[in-house]
Structure 1
Amino acid sequence: MALPRAQRIEYKRFLANISDHPDWSLQDIRILFDDFGLDVEYDPVGRLDYVDALSRVSDETLEEMYRIATGTPEQAREMEKSSDVWRDGQLRLFISHISTEKSFTMKVSEELRTYGIHGFVAHEHLPTEKNWGESLQDALRSMHAFIAFIHPEFEKSVYCAQEVGWALGRNVPSRFLRFGELPSGFAAQLQSPDMIKSSTNQYAVAKSIVDWLAGREEIREQLSSVLSKALIKAYSFDHAGTIAEAIVKCSSLSAQSIVDIGVAHAKNNQVSQSNSANRALKKYFDSLGEGYPPAPF
């Protein structure tokens, strides 16, 4: 899975300024870049241009270089950690909720799964063979985004408060949905749409979450990747339309995502016969100067 944009930028910034690191001599840096087959040229003012060399590396190479350079695998392997907590190949969304709302939260999580998003619900998704506290922290440490369902009694939950603290402290994309209660503290400064009218409608809540995620630049590339794959299994015309509109809002398509959209159109009549899906995608592909539907290969 592609690295989130914010994480990719963080890795490149560190590596581009690696000569400022006291543990890395110029010779060490040359060994690192040479080992990955990267030629470092001099810029016009006579400085080694690491930025240009890094512009050509894949996400996998970039992550491995960062891991070696920092010497802190725990920090650099957050995306690989907790494989027993998160489903592979899906966007990682932590859902903070109170225990009495577990049933509805799980319904939302199951609907999010149809969009390629793993909505983590602690009461259901913690592995039984591991210490639950460690697993919960692993999930918080490796989540891509955070959502909180603010029902009455939410503010009284010590664990919910700590989960909010993790999200705000890590500065991951965070959103607070109001179900009859207002967020407090630092969370009160963020947008918190009122969802009380959708308090029993998991489809509407999931759709709202997907629409919000698609507008977050930090995870757009990652989200468009999972959405394009999810389109292949869209279960209704409306579902296909929602996925397509979110893909367009992401405004970031990899070559593989374009192929996936072509496969979805060729193999799933819920996509090929969905007016809303085809209208949104055709307009977007036209704006790119590309034909629609794209070839499924």
Structure 2
Amino acid sequence: MPNVKVFLSYNEGAAGGKAAQELHDKLSELHVDAVMARHAILPGTDWEQAIRTELESSAALVSVGTKGYSARPWCQQEIGWALGRHVPILWIQYADGESPAGFLARTQALIADNPDQPEVIARDVVQWLASQEATRDALVDGLLEVLETSSSYSQTRGCADLLALAGRLSEEEWSRVVRAASENRQVRDAVKWSGGKRRPAWSKASYKDEPSVLNWLNDRIGPRASQAQGRELR
């Protein structure tokens, strides 16, 4: 189960709904619990209270800035709610003119250069969550749970890619990585090659020349990475 929950604030128009749904789906694939109001409100439910409940339980708010977003009063109220609770806010600018305004005017938006690539935008959101003090630990905890229960080499590699976005792991977090490699063969035997996520079948014989996922993570965010950083500072 994802341990970090984000509220998607979006314009209910066609473009806004489409962008939010695509982002929601891709974030879910990256183990982030993304909430859309339309999913949270059941028939007969007090929709205003339902939105408040979801806002209160979310660790961050993501503004899906498609055309017309800034002019929607409810979107601005959702932002105001998050500001009042000191919740991290990320504004994704999908359309010209839909840049952060008001109390968010000084914050840098995430520019969606290609709205047709929601997987790229979702990964950028994960990287932002990893950089926020309020969401980083919950994100990493959720990813570690995925790693510990990984059922395939592909899932292990994908999880490792996301963990690498978090930067250096604590000793306790790294011990969970090591334990996962010890107890789960899908983690222990997974390799991380440099040529991309897939390799052609004829290259299987060369897997032995590739680093294990554990060593790959160790070089980037584990104790080995910390030691290398320490040497650079001296």
| TM-score (ref. length: structure 2) | 0.73
Q: Distance in 1 between matches of 2:185 and 2:117?
A: 31
Deviation, 1:141, is: 1.4
Q: Secondary structure at the match of 1:228?
A: helix
Q: Secondary structure at the match of 2:111?
A: coil
Q: Secondary structure at the match of 1:156?
A: coil
Amino acid at match of 2:193: N
Shift of the 259–134 alpha-carbon distance from structure 1 to 2, 3 Å rule, reads farther
Corresponding residue of 1:286: 223
Does structure 1 conserve the Cα–Cα contact (< 8 Å) formed by 2:169 and 2:222?
A: no
Deviation, 1:103, is: 2.4
Q: Secondary structure at the match of 1:155?
A: coil
Corresponding residue of 1:137: 52
Amino acid at match of 2:224: S
Does structure 2 conserve the Cα–Cα contact (< 8 Å) formed by 1:91 and 1:117?
A: yes
Provide Cα deviations, 1:150-195, integer angstroms capped at 9, x if missing partner: 1120011111010110111111111111112212111112121211
Does structure 2 conserve the Cα–Cα contact (< 8 Å) formed by 1:97 and 1:148?
A: yes
Deviation, 1:122, is: 1.0
Following superposition of structure 1 onto structure 2, how do residues 196-235 of structure 1 map, counting pairs within 5 Å? 197-231=113-147, 232=150, 235=154
Provide Cα deviations, 1:245-292, integer angstroms capped at 9, x if missing partner: 124x263454784367427962259x81223655641213333899xx
Provide Cα deviations, 1:81-128, integer angstroms capped at 9, x if missing partner: xxxxxxx65311001111122123122212212332111111223233
- Structure exhibiting the larger radius of gyration computed from Cα positions: 1
Higher relative contact order (CA 8 A, sep 6+): 2
Please point out which of 177, 193, 199 is paired with 2:110: 193
Aligned-CA RMSD value = 3.0
Does structure 1 conserve the Cα–Cα contact (< 8 Å) formed by 2:4 and 2:142?
A: yes
Shift of the 172–211 alpha-carbon distance from structure 1 to 2, 3 Å rule, reads same
Q: Secondary structure at the match of 2:105?
A: helix
Shift of the 148–282 alpha-carbon distance from structure 1 to 2, 3 Å rule, reads same
Please point out which of 85, 93, 99 is paired with 1:178: 93
Does structure 1 conserve the Cα–Cα contact (< 8 Å) formed by 2:168 and 2:226?
A: no
**Structure 2: segments with no counterpart, 5+ residues:** 195-212, 228-234
Provide Cα deviations, 1:15-62, integer angstroms capped at 9, x if missing partner: xxxxxxxxxxxxxxxxxxxxxxxxxxxxxxxxxxxxxxxxxxxxxxxx
Corresponding residue of 2:206: none
Amino acid at match of 1:171: H
| TM-score (ref. length: structure 1) | 0.59
**Structure 1: segments with no counterpart, 5+ residues:** 1-87, 291-297
2:10 maps to 1:93 = no
Deviation, 1:239, is: 3.0
Moved more, 271-280 or 177-186: 271-280
Q: Distance in 2 between matches of 1:120 and 1:260?
A: 32
